[in-house]
Chain A
Amino acid sequence: MANDRLRALEDVEKEIALVLQSAGTIVLELSKEKANASLLDRQLNQFQTSINRVESELSAQIRYLTQVATGQPHEGSTYSARKDCQMALNRAEYARVKLGELGHTCEMMLDPQT
Chain B
Amino acid sequence: MATQRVLPQSKETLLQNYNKRLKDDIRSILDNFTEIIKTAKVEDETQVSRATQAEQDHYEMHVRAANIVRAGESLMKLVSDLKQFLILNDFPSVNEAISLRNQQLRTLQEECDKKLISLRDEIAIDLYELEEEYYSSSCGQWDGVELPLCEAFHRQDIWGSPETTSDPSCANPEDTDHLGTQESIQCNLNSHGSSTSEQS
B82 & A62 in contact (Cβ 8 Å cutoff)? yes
B29 & A2 in contact (Cβ 8 Å cutoff)? no
**Known interface pairs A9-B83, A95-B116. Does A51 touch B30 (Cβ–Cβ under 8 Å)?**
yes
For residue B72, which residues in chain A have a CB less than 8 angstroms away from its CB?
16-17, 19-20
Q: Closest CB-CB distance, A75 to chain B, in whole Å?
A: 10
A76 & B94 in contact (Cβ 8 Å cutoff)? yes
A68 & B101 in contact (Cβ 8 Å cutoff)? no
In the assembly, what is the distance between CA of A7 and CA of B109, in Å? 31
Q: Indicate with 1 or 0, residue by residue over B87-108, a CB within 8 angstroms of chain A CB atoms.
A: 1111111111110011001101
Q: Is the interface of A mostly helix, strand, loop or mixed?
A: helix
Interface status of A81 (Cβ within 8 A of chain B): yes
Q: Closest CB-CB distance, A79 to chain B, in whole Å?
A: 10
For residue A26, which residues in chain B have a CB less than 8 angstroms away from its CB?
37
**Known interface pairs A59-B22, A65-B15. Does A20 touch B68 (Cβ–Cβ under 8 Å)?**
yes
**Which residues 25-46 of B sit at the A interface, judged by CB distance below 8 A?**
26, 29-30, 33, 36-37, 40
Interface status of B170 (Cβ within 8 A of chain A): no
For residue B156, which residues in chain A have a CB less than 8 angstroms away from its CB?
105, 109
A85 & B89 in contact (Cβ 8 Å cutoff)? no
**Known interface pairs A12-B79, A77-B98. Does A71 touch B106 (Cβ–Cβ under 8 Å)?**
no
**Contact residues of A with B, CB < 8 Å?**
1-2, 5-6, 9, 12-13, 16-17, 19-20, 23, 26-27, 30-31, 47, 51, 54-55, 58-59, 61-62, 64-71, 73-74, 76-78, 81-82, 84-85, 87-89, 91-92, 95, 105, 108-109
**Contact residues of B with A, CB < 8 Å?**
5, 7-8, 10-12, 15, 18-19, 22, 26, 29-30, 33, 36-37, 40, 61, 65, 68-69, 72, 75-76, 78-79, 82-83, 85-98, 101-102, 105-106, 108-109, 112-113, 115-116, 119, 153, 156-157, 160
